[in-house]
Amino acid sequence: MADLARLQQQFYDRVVGRAPGDPAHREDDPGAAGELIGSGDLGIYARMYASRLHDALAEDHPKLRAALGDERFGELVVHYLRAHPPSSFTLRDAGLELERFLRGTDLAPAWAADLAALERARVEVFDGPDAELLTQEAVAALGDALPGLVLAWVPSSVVVPLAWTVDDLWSAIEDGSPTTEPVAEPRAVLVWRRDVAVLHRTLDADEARLAPRIAPGLSFADACEVLGELHGDAASARAVELLLRWLAAAALAAPPTWPALDPT
Amino acid sequence: MKNPVRTGSMIAFAAASLFAAACGSKAPDQGTTPAASPEKTAAAVHCMGINSCKGTGSCKSEKNGCKGQNGCKGQGMTDTATAEDCTGKGGTVAVGN
């Protein structure tokens, strides 16, 4: 290995905390013998590296940090980064594996993974693409062609299935209200972006059933079919109620193709 | 056995009429089911021009969607707790806060 490459490797190992003897340390590299970095305090870079990663994760997961407390969150980050060292050039991706890590560790409560998933969804949605919105006026203009309308959430949206009531915990922390330990209760949350505001809302039972199918696109008639099974004669009114709710929330995207209007 | 497509379409046609009626009234009937849970958003102030685009979160702007491009240093948006935090770091509070 050329000296420059060895120097860079040794510098990297020092900064990320890999010492000689660490399995990740490149002892097997026949050209790695001999330290090229003989003096100088690299500890400041190592401390800054860990600190920046901690800050990035804390910024993306403010409610998880608040729920666990600074000390516990800090310990969690140390263990997480040891298990999932960053591999992307951007710190945005540093927390990509946090939810999965939390599902397999006893360092945090069982509900912590759900809270991390909700917060991660909010990050993803903020950076997602813009879209033309489906408006109430456009839907009204369809008239009897409405059954053929394809409903789809805006592309900057995620349906997050939860096993714990971490949405309530998120709200309590945000509002500065007393918090309670999340309890096991399946629910679904829609996270979406409206202009530059990221919002989320806990879905009711009908919405939770429809939401995953709306994500890839679902015709209004098919949505009505689902509601028909649930509500019988009241399905039409319920369909209108939900459609108006989603339109008001700016949560639906204009379809790539519009259903043909009846010329009569 | 019912035809699911036909059933769904029939419900949808009826809904189309209801939708037209609802849109024509000043106060659309929101039904008798419980109201939707409220939308939740963070109370942070959107602040333009202070982020160094470490890539975490809020750096979307007209110039850069920050889709992992890490190229919006000083151009994008990040969140601060208050307007004072934003301006104190040399940023400007985004319209729409």
Please compute the mean of the pLDDT values over residues B13-23 and round it to a whole number.
88
Asked if B12's CB is within 8 angstroms of A146's CB, the reply is yes
**Over 50: is that where the pLDDT of A196 sits?**
yes
Reported as a single tens digit per residue, the pLDDT across A27-77 is 444 444 456 566 667 788 888 888 989 999 998 999 999 999 999 999 999
Picking from B16, B39, B77, the nearest residue to A147 by CB comes out as: B16
Distance from CA of A18 to the nearest CA of B (A): 23
Asked if B59's CB is within 8 angstroms of A123's CB, the reply is no
Structure tokens at A170: 């998120």
What residues of chain A, 43 to 62, have a C-beta less than 8 Å from chain B? Answer: 52, 56, 59-60, 62
Picking from A127, A221, A224, the nearest residue to B66 by CB comes out as: A127
Distance from CA of B67 to the nearest CA of A (A): 6
Chain A: residue nearest B64 by CA?
A127
- pLDDT for the residue A78: 93
For the question of an ipTM over 0.85, the answer is no
pLDDT bracket for residue B49 (50, 70, 90): low
Reported as a single tens digit per residue, the pLDDT across B50-63 is 654 444 444 444 44
Please compute the mean of the pLDDT values over residues B1-14 and round it to a whole number.
74
Question: How many CB atoms sit inside 10 A of residue A179's CB?
Answer: 16
Structure tokens at B17: 């009429």
Picking from B14, B54, B55, the nearest residue to A236 by CB comes out as: B14
- pLDDT for the residue B68: 41
Structure tokens at A39: 């003096």
B36/A249 Cα distance (integer angstroms): 11
pLDDT averaged over every residue in chain A: 89
Contacts of A122 in chain B (CB under 8 A): 42
Report the SS3 class of residue A236. helix
Angle formed by the axes of helices A112-126 and A166-175, to 10°? Answer: 70
- pLDDT for the residue A177: 96
- pLDDT for the residue A146: 95
Chain A: residue nearest B60 by CA?
A127
Reported as a single tens digit per residue, the pLDDT across A117-168 is 999 999 999 888 889 999 999 999 999 999 999 999 999 999 999 999 999 9
Contacts of A225 in chain B (CB under 8 A): 4-5, 7-8, 11
- pLDDT for the residue B14: 92
Strand (E) or helix (H) holding A230: helix A220-231
- pLDDT for the residue A43: 80
Q: Is B38 on the interface with A (CB under 8 A)?
A: yes
Question: How many CB atoms sit inside 10 A of residue A197's CB?
Answer: 15
Asked if A201's CB is within 8 angstroms of B58's CB, the reply is no
Chain B: residue nearest A246 by CA?
B36
Reported as a single tens digit per residue, the pLDDT across A201-257 is 999 999 999 999 999 999 999 999 999 999 999 999 999 999 999 999 999 999 999
What residues of chain A, 201 to 230, have a C-beta less than 8 Å from chain B? Answer: 201-204, 206, 219-228
Question: Residue A120, exposed/middle/buried by CB under 10 A (0-12, 13-18, 19+)?
Answer: buried
Structure tokens at A234: 């009241």
Task: Specify the pairing of strand A150-151 against strand A218-219.
Answer: antiparallel
Report the phi/psi class of residue A219: left, alpha or beta, with left for phi > 0 and alpha for psi in -120 to 50: beta
* String of DSSP letters for chain B: ---HHHHHHHHHHHHHHHHHHHHHSSS----SSPPPPPPB---PEEEES-----SSS----SS---SS----TTTSEEEESSHHHHHHTT-EEPTT-
B19/B97 Cα distance (integer angstroms): 33
Picking from B16, B31, B39, the nearest residue to A237 by CB comes out as: B31
Among B33, B40, B70, B80, the strongest candidate for a mutation testing the A interface, having the largest count of A CBs within 10 A, is B40
Reported as a single tens digit per residue, the pLDDT across B54-95 is 444 444 444 444 444 444 444 456 777 777 877 777 777 776
- pLDDT for the residue B95: 61
Question: Residue A178, exposed/middle/buried by CB under 10 A (0-12, 13-18, 19+)?
Answer: exposed
Torsion of Cα atoms, A43 then B72 then B97 then A202, to 10°: -80
Q: Is B58 on the interface with A (CB under 8 A)?
A: yes
- pLDDT for the residue A107: 95
Contacts of B66 in chain A (CB under 8 A): 92, 127
Q: Is B40 on the interface with A (CB under 8 A)?
A: yes
A41/A7 Cα distance (integer angstroms): 15
Beta bridge partners of A191: A158, A200
Asked if B68's CB is within 8 angstroms of A221's CB, the reply is no
A256/B20 Cα distance (integer angstroms): 23
- pLDDT for the residue B62: 42
Q: Is B1 on the interface with A (CB under 8 A)?
A: no
Report the SS3 class of residue A165. coil
Asked if B8's CB is within 8 angstroms of A228's CB, the reply is yes
